[in-house]
A and B are shown apart, each in its own frame.
Chain A
Amino acid sequence: MGNEHLLLPRLARILEVKELTAREKLFTLQMEDAKPLGHSPGQFVEISVFGVGECPISICSSPTRGSYFQLCVRAVGLVTNALHRLKPGSVVGIRGPYGKGFPLEVMRGQDILIAAGGLGMAPLRSLAQYIKDRREEFGNVTVLYGAREPGELLFKDELDEIQSVGECLLTVDRADETWKGHVGVITTLCPQVKVDPSRTIAVTVGPPIMYRFILQEFKKMGIPDDRIYLSLERRMKCGIGKCGHCQINGIYVCREGPVFNYAEIKNLPEAL
């Protein structure tokens, strides 16, 4: 281990770039050695645009889908804006996969309730694909997905695929003339959801504000805290528990997360 260079990325090539919304693009990548990334849903990579920098991005494809992997990137900072300017064929750096993903061992054989808010759909798409590809290993699946506006819904052309896994309820905070579906924040979908709390694992990824409310809904559904998992976003510079940026109290999100069991962090100050 001592001879390995901790901050040295491996090279990966962008195979395809697809514009998902005005702010998000989907990058399909393959490691230069063509080997699979070896990730688990919920993990992240540190992606480098050399000369610009490096940033953490969650992996949005399932490891069951072959040797490529996908990242859904919102152009919001220095590196992500640089990524958006790259074309297929460009070479980037990848470190990872890092962190702890969704607890697949715990989830096997259980009903799964997924609640995705905005860009939180990215890591949850990895999970949804994984469940689809190993459908027999999981019970009933329900997906709640909310975005601010119809134009911000990610993976719109894949909703059929998600429907094939289980019930998928969509909502937008603000409708436009094209929208025929549900309007309201994601928690307004919850009264329609019927789950058996004793055999359900709830998984949620979204902005911090969403957690505050969706967790209350899970509670109303009777889902115990230790059967709820969520992914925390933090600034990360190293991904390996050294740089200190992602630290919440004594916990390094990059190493002990980003996916946490709610019961384990609910009393942790500064976590939620």
Chain B
Amino acid sequence: MPIMVLSKQDLLPFVERMLKDYEVIGPIKKDSFYLFSPISKPEDLVIDYPIALYPPRKFFLPAEERVLRFTLGEKLVVEPIVERPGPKVLFGLHPCDLHSTRLLDAAFIRENPDANYEARRRNAIFIGIDCLKPCDEYAFCKDMGTLNVQSCYDLFLTDLGNEYAVEIGSERGKEILEKYSSARAISEAEMAKLEEVRRERDKAFPSKLNFDASKLPEILWARFNSPYWKELAEKCMGCGSCTLVCSTCYCHDVFDRVELNLKEGERLRVWDSCLLEDFAKVAGGLNFRPSRVERLRHRFYRKGKYLWDLFGLMGCVGCGRCTRHCLARINPIEVFNDIFKEYSQA
């Protein structure tokens, strides 16, 4: 698809025009954090934000989602909650967050598609924006191969100084760009500038992983019984913050909530965390991952091996959110490098 150019002064008017037809969600500043939030005016957006506190998954897999409603009594009635989400634009997603949606799509659309998830995804337009420098010391997107993004966006912006290069990723992206913006075709000079910006960008991101990320599943698997996991688990507090902010975590619990009238109720799907003690515990008390060692290891292997085996996609996109919010500052890059060191010495 052709690459277009949008001048910087035309960006907010572009958003303003989309706001007439779409719910627009983008990065805003709240206290000391940046959050993805529905906006009412384009000025609320913070285009040059480092990273959002939560990944965009909450718009597709809400923290608490009603899946069924039921009426109890003589005549039991059970109805599915079928959503008809309106069209949304998710504006300003960084490459790591765009990559994370591929994994969620694999889990909720590829096999046994979840109708509500699929409807939310199909009605969401992704406008990504390139990161020209790391958001902070915790990001390791370049190592996980998610700094570059070739698909999973409708439009993708790169800051060229006075304008944005706009890459078109879908027919739908092309249409909204034509309809709501005054973008024009990119010139040769601007094309050269885009390439230069990308080269500079790649230099701005340090390489932190001491091996190629594609070897991660094999390396982890070889060190499953390493005493390292026990040492690491001694630091972990088992709070589950990492899973709460992770852009690819999608494990969930399902339970019923009954109204105070004891007649109506609903079934909910809520986020859960494999780090919490009860996650693998069955009724009767038997726990299949009884210690924190097993639970923490499970999380790392899910990110670095199991999801790869399942979907051919890495479960970690290197956004660094887990480290930022870890009380013990457990950092996947350090963990992966430590394990690699053991692996190479073994």
Q: Does B346 contact A (CB under 8 A)?
A: no
Q: A54-B267, A80-B283, A243-B253 are in contact. List 5 more A-B contacts (CB 8 A).
A: A8-B67, A77-B282, A245-B272, A245-B280, A270-B289
Within 8 A of A (CB), among B279-330: 279-284, 286, 288-289, 294, 298, 301-302, 305-306, 309-310
- Say if the beta carbon of B68 comes within 8 Å of chain A: yes
Q: Are A78 and B274 in contact (CB under 8 A)?
A: no
B218 → chain A, closest Cβ, in Å? 13
In the complex, what residues of A have CB within 8 A of residue B253's CB?
Answer: 237, 243, 245
Taking a contact as CB atoms under 8 Å apart, the answer to whether B280 and A237 are in contact is no
**A238 at interface, CB cutoff 8 A:** yes
Chain B nearest Cβ from A143, distance in angstroms: 25
A54 to chain B: which residues have CB within 8 Å?
Answer: 254, 256, 267
Q: How far is the CA of A250 from the CA of B256 in the complex (A)?
A: 28
A161 CB, min distance to chain B CBs, angstroms: 28
Number of A interface residues at 8 Å Cβ cutoff, please give it: 42
Decide if A7 touches B272 in the complex (CB within 8 Å): no
Cβ B250 vs Cβ A242 within 8 A: yes
A window 247-272: CB within 8 A of B: 247-250, 269-270
List of B residues within 8 angstroms of A11 by Cβ? 76, 78
**Is there a chain A Cβ closer than 8 Å to B265's Cβ?**
yes
**A242 lies within 8 A of B108 (CB):** yes
| B211 is an interface residue with CB less than 8 A from chain A | no
Q: Which of B239-298 contact A (CB under 8 A)?
A: 250-256, 258, 262, 265, 267, 269, 272, 274, 279-284, 286, 288-289, 294, 298
B137 within 8 A of A: no
Q: Counting CB contacts under 8 A, is A51 at the interface?
A: yes
18 A-B residue pairs with Cβ-Cβ distance under 8 Å, sorted by A, are: A2-B113, A2-B115, A7-B67, A7-B80, A8-B68, A50-B72, A51-B256, A77-B283, A235-B279, A235-B288, A237-B252, A237-B253, A237-B254, A241-B111, A244-B274, A244-B279, A247-B302, A249-B301
Q: Kindly supply a per-residue 1/0 record for chain A positions 44-59, scoring 1 wherever the CB is within 8 Å of any chain B CB and 0 otherwise.
A: 0000001111110000
A5 interfacial by beta-carbon distance below 8 Å: yes
Give the chain A neighbours of B16 by CB distance below 8 A.
none
Whether the pair B252, A55 counts as a contact (CB closer than 8 A) is no
8 Å CB contact of A242 from B78, B112, B288, B289? B112
Q: Does A76 contact B (CB under 8 A)?
A: yes
Specify which chain B residues have a CB less than 8 angstroms from the CB of A238 in the assembled complex: 252, 254
The verdict on B236 contacting chain A, using a C-beta distance below 8 Å, is no
Determine the distance from Cα of A101 to Cα of B63 in the docked complex, in whole angstroms.
Answer: 33
Q: Is the CB of B115 within 8 A of A235?
A: no
Known A-B contacts A243-B253, A243-B272; the reply to A50 vs B283 at CB < 8 A is no
Residue of chain A at shortest CB distance from B112: A240
The contact of B252 among A77, A80, A233, A242, by CB within 8 Å, is A242
Contacts A51-B70, A233-B282, A235-B282; A250 near B269 (Cβ below 8 A): no
Cα–Cα, bound, A134→B271 (Å) = 45
Quick check: B306 and A250 within 8 Å, CB to CB? yes
CB of A193, distance to nearest CB on chain B (Å): 28
Interchain CB contact under 8 A, B288 and A234? yes
Nearest residue in B to A49 (C-beta to C-beta)? B256
The verdict on A159 contacting chain B, using a C-beta distance below 8 Å, is: no
- A208 in contact (CB, < 8 A): yes
Task: Give the tally of cross-chain contacts (CB within 8 A).
Answer: 118
**Contact for B280 among A3, A6, A235, A242, CB less than 8 A:** A235
Which residues of chain B come closer than 8 Å to A51, judged between CB atoms?
70, 72, 256, 258, 262, 265
Closest 8 CB pairs of A and B: A77-B283, A244-B251, A5-B80, A250-B306, A8-B80, A250-B309, A2-B113, A237-B254
Cα distance A55–B82 when bound, in Å?
23
Distance (Å) between the CB of A132 and the closest chain B CB? 30
CB distance from A99 to the nearest CB of B (A): 13
Q: Determine the distance from Cα of A78 to Cα of B79 in the docked complex, in whole angstroms.
A: 23
How many angstroms from the CA of A55 to the CA of B80 in the assembled complex? 18
**Do A50 and B265 form a contact, CB below 8 Å, given A5-B82, A243-B253, A244-B252?**
yes
B82-132 interface (Cβ within 8 A of A): 82, 107-108, 111-115, 118
Question: Are the C-beta atoms of A78 and B283 separated by less than 8 Å?
Answer: yes
Please, how many angstroms separate the alpha-carbon atoms of A235 and B282 in the complex? 5
Query: Shortest beta-carbon distance, A61 to chain B, in Å?
Result: 22
Interface string of A215-234 (1 = CB under 8 A from B): 00000000000000000011
Q: A242: which B residues are within 8 A, CB to CB?
A: 107-108, 112, 114, 250, 252
| A9 beta carbon closer than 8 Å to chain B | yes
Quick check: A243 and B113 within 8 Å, CB to CB?
no
Interface: B180 (CB within 8 A): no
Complex: A36 Cα to B305 Cα, angstroms = 40
In the complex, what residue of chain A is closest to B288 when comparing beta carbons? A234
The verdict on A183 contacting chain B, using a C-beta distance below 8 Å, is no
B33 at the interface (CB under 8 A from A): no
Residues of B within 8 A of A53 (CB): 254-256
Does the CB pair A208–B306 fall under 8 Å? Answer: no
Known: A6-B114, A51-B265, A250-B309. A243 touches B251 (CB 8 A): yes
CA distance A241 to B281 in the complex (A): 17
A5: chain B residues at CB < 8 Å are 67-68, 80, 82, 115
Q: B272, A244: Cβ atoms under 8 Å? A: yes
Is the beta-carbon distance between B281 and A235 smaller than 8 angstroms? yes
Cβ-defined partner of B250 (8 Å) among A55, A74, A244: A244
Chain B window 136-149, contacts with chain A (Cβ cutoff 8 Å), 1 for yes, 0 for no: 00000000000000
Closest chain A residue to B273 by CB distance? Answer: A244
